[in-house]
Amino acid sequence: MTSGRRAVVTGGAGYIGSHVVLALVEAGWDVVVVDDLSTGRREAVPPMVTFVHGDVGDCSTIEAAMARHRPHAVLHFAGSIVVTESVADPLKYYRNNTAASRTVIEAANAFAVKVFIFSSTAAVYGAPDGIAVAEDAPTEPINPYGRSKLFTEMILRDVAAVTPMRYVALRYFNVAGADPKGRAGQTSPGSTHLIKVACEAALGVRADLEIYGDDYPTPDGTCVRDFIHVSDLADAHVLAIEYLLGGGENAVLNCGYGHGWSVKTVVEIIRCVAGVPFEVRIKGRRPGDPPSLVADPSKIRSRLGWRPKHDDLRFIVESALAWERTQLISRGG
């Protein structure tokens, strides 16, 4: 049974968006997904969810969705997310992320949507000093992807200052894993996410795994990241909506567990869980990669009461591997 509350989710056919849609449905929300399927999959949208096929950067598309469905909340995921691609093609990122986000925010404001949840990124911090980065750390992104997301945060801040709209911007650290019930997972073509790519190597979908740089100033020379299970992240979005509906103030919140794992450590855990010693090749550093990026999650825990259920790298890997195996079977592999 639904609560009578309706949410528009842009990019809801994608990896993170599809998991948030599942969490919203379980929380009793009516959900409308708007997605152009450039990287998402129509099959990722549950049957009980309304689907609108279209580009959220197109004013007429997003305005028509708002006018027809009159949402109580908007959750904005649609955008481009590959750091190296953003360095090579910055205009694509300022179009798909910043400009398209402005269009969505404008439409939401025009239809008096008072709750807006934005999918931001830890890339806004750039290459921070210290072990764990808090929300008040300097925002000095080192790639166009991070800048494109930071600009959207600024738009939200300025709009919320002069309208009734309230927002939460969630800065994701490294999202990984798959729905524990096997209903959703990562299917993005050409994904560069470490755990997904390594799982594909373990299952023979890829010939090997490439590690980009082993000469960073970290304990084993490889990048250190804070990996968060996608279902814990999805729960944070539902809590963020409830927080705003309950009168919460605008907030920017880190989404991470507060501890990091090196690339080499992650690879060894995947080899152990999969039971396969797949080949690893060391290559040069990728442009735009900071050495270490780990969250200070104290603010999201205190502000939203967020308590992650899957803070276990082995569980994250197991869920990702299980999903990749189902994908391999569905492809006849």
The residues annotated as belonging to the active site are 145
Specify the DSSP class assigned to residue 142: S
Q: Measured between alpha carbons, how far apart are the two ends of the chain, in Å?
A: 39
Nearest to 95 by CA among 78, 110, 117, 120: 78
Spatial distance between the Cα atoms of 229 and 310, rounded to a whole number of angstroms: 6
Q: Which residues of 251-262 are buried (b: 16+ CB within 10 A; e: fewer)?
A: bbbbbbbbebbb
Structure tokens at 197: 């790519």
Checking DSSP bridges between strand 224-225 and strand 73-76, what pairing results, if any? unpaired
Checking DSSP bridges between strand 73-76 and strand 209-212, what pairing results, if any? unpaired
Spatial distance between the Cα atoms of 271 and 267, rounded to a whole number of angstroms: 6
Give kind and range of the element (H or E) at residue 330.
Answer: helix 313-330
Nearest to 78 by CA among 18, 155, 128, 138: 18
